[in-house]
Each structure stands twice: as structure tokens, then as C-alpha cells.
Amino acid sequence: MSNLRYNIATMKNNLLIKNLYEKLCSELEGINFSEPVAVVYNPLLYASDGVEKYLRYSDGSKRAIFLGMNPGPWGMAQTGVPFGEVEAVKNFLGFDELTITPPPNEHELYRVKGLDCQRSEVSGKRLWGLFKEKFGTAENFFRDHFVLNYCPLLLLARSGKDRVRNFTPDKLGKSEREKLFAACDSCLRAVIEILKPEYVVGVGNFAHERAAQALSGMNIKITKILHPSPASPQSNRDWGGKVTEQLIASGVWQ
């Protein structure tokens, strides 16, 4: 009987969150991004196999949710997993195969190769590496934790003839930003209601600010950690040690 209840709970969360993502994708399709945005990837659509495999870990309520900004080109854009650095997805999450169909508007400088991608996303490597160091196995980590991205879209902006670069959502114009944030805020609130965390941990300032805005009025403790991106000088010296101290200080970890 206990196994039956566990399976029902797992399917319930899987299906509820999947339905929310489908609704979010529909809303985001209505946003027309203007220059300099040239290409938009939505891994919730073309990497749905990775998304669905990842959501199997969403069973039950969680003590803490780690919230990122949006997909990185060599992480979630490849695997459908938040901060989904390929080696972490294979070796920590245990995904041996993923069926990933590259998006129809794929840019030659940002090819989607799924688990065959040879690039490593440093942010994902650091984040999942810390969780592996502390918890040992994915099952131990996901018992009380989960990782989400606030926005599912990878935005690529024009940066010269035939070239594009990663473009984060906070840099969008006001009208596009407001439409995007409204849809993502609504989805985040609904997912948080399903997972019922005590803490939401913003990975970096942007995610922390969006969590504080979107989850205002909900009985949730919102805190943040240093973003693992190598673009931050602070992150390149013992990022794991600094973040562990932050999580202990905020009460998320002991």
C-alpha cells in the first residue's frame, strides 16, 4: 500500500507541473520578442523527454526549492534539466539516454546535441556538484529539495553579422519583460503551491528578486545564494564553501 501511495503522489506532481508548463508555453508563444533578440529556444518543448524524466524527482513536498534564472546554452538548453550540465545529468541524475529534437530555429553557434554535447556549463557543474558532495545521491537530494528555473526560455541576441549571444530576461524591453514575468510569476506560484517548500532559494540576485515578487504573501522563507557563474569573480574562489555557509546561515541546511 505504501508503494501505491508513493506512485500516486509521484504521478500527481508530475502531471500537475507538466500541465502548468504546457500552459506557460502557450502563454509565452504569444510574446513577440523584438531586436536585439534574434532566436528563442524553449527546451520545455523540444527537450520534453529530459523535462519529463526530471519531473520524476518532484514527488512529495520539498523543504527547499533552488530557483535559477533561465536555461544556459550548454545546460538546460541541451538536456531540459535546470542547470542541466551534461555530465551531472548523466552521472548524478542517472539519465543514460534522452531523446532531444533540436528546435526548428536552431542557430549554428548554439547547436542542441543533448547528451552528446561536449561543452560543460560551469554553473550547472558547480551547483549539481555541490549537491552531490553533500548528499551523495540524487535520491537523497531530491527527498527534500528540487531545482527550478524561473523562465524556460533561452534568448539569443544579435551581436553582429551571423552571430548571436546569450541574452538574459532582465535585459528585455519593458513591455516584453512585463508579459514574460507575468506568465512566469503565475507558473512559479502554482508550482510552489504543489511542492509546498519552506524555503525558496534564489540562485543569484535576479532569481531572488523574482521569487520575492512572485511569492509575496505566501508563507515561504525566501533567501539567496551566490550565483555559480564564472562571470562572477566571487564565484571563482571556493563557491561551494561560500554557498554552504550561506545556506547554513539562512537555516536551509544544518
Q: What is the pLDDT of residues 8-57, one digit of tens each?
A: 455 588 899 999 999 999 999 999 999 999 999 999 999 999 999 999 99
Give me the pLDDT at residue 4, please: 40
C-alpha closest to that of 171 among 184, 161, 157, 189: 157
Question: Are the beta carbons of 49 and 11 closer than 8 angstroms?
Answer: no
Cα–Cα dist 44/183, whole Å: 15
**Whole-angstrom distance, CA of residue 43 vs CA of residue 28:** 13
The pLDDT mean for the chain works out to 94
Q: State yes or no: pLDDT of 5 exceeds 50.
A: no
Phi/psi for 223 (5° steps) reads -135, -175
Q: Is the pLDDT of residue 218 over 90?
A: yes
Q: Which residues pair with 155 in a beta bridge?
A: 40, 167
pLDDT digits (tens, 9 = 90+) for 106-152: 999 999 999 999 999 999 999 999 999 999 999 999 999 999 999 99
Question: Per-residue confidence at 234, pLDDT binned at 50, 70, 90?
Answer: very high
Instruction: Report how far residue 250's alpha carbon sits from residue 158's, in angstroms, rounded to the nearest whole number.
Output: 40
* 82-102 mean pLDDT: 97
Question: What pLDDT is attached to residue 14?
Answer: 87
Residue percentage of the chain with pLDDT more than 70: 96
State the DSSP code for 185. Answer: H
Which domains, ranges and CATH numbers included, belong to the chain?
2-250 (3.40.470.10)
| pTM (predicted TM-score) | 0.94
- Strand-pairing partners, residue 147, are 66
Looking at residue 160, what is its pLDDT? 80
pLDDT over threshold 70, residue 6: no
pLDDT over 80 (residue 85): yes
DSSP string, 127-183: HHHHHHHHHSSHHHHHTTEEEEES---EEEEE-STT-EEEE-GGGS-HHHHHHHHHH
Contacts of 78 (CB under 8 A, 6+ apart): 47, 84, 86, 100, 112, 113, 114, 115, 117
The C-alpha angle 97, 78, 7, rounded to 5 degrees, equals 50
Question: What is the predicted pLDDT for the residue at 11?
Answer: 55
Contacts of 18 (CB under 8 A, 6+ apart): 51, 52, 55
The alpha carbon of residue 82 and the mean position of all alpha carbons in its chain are separated, in whole angstroms, by 3
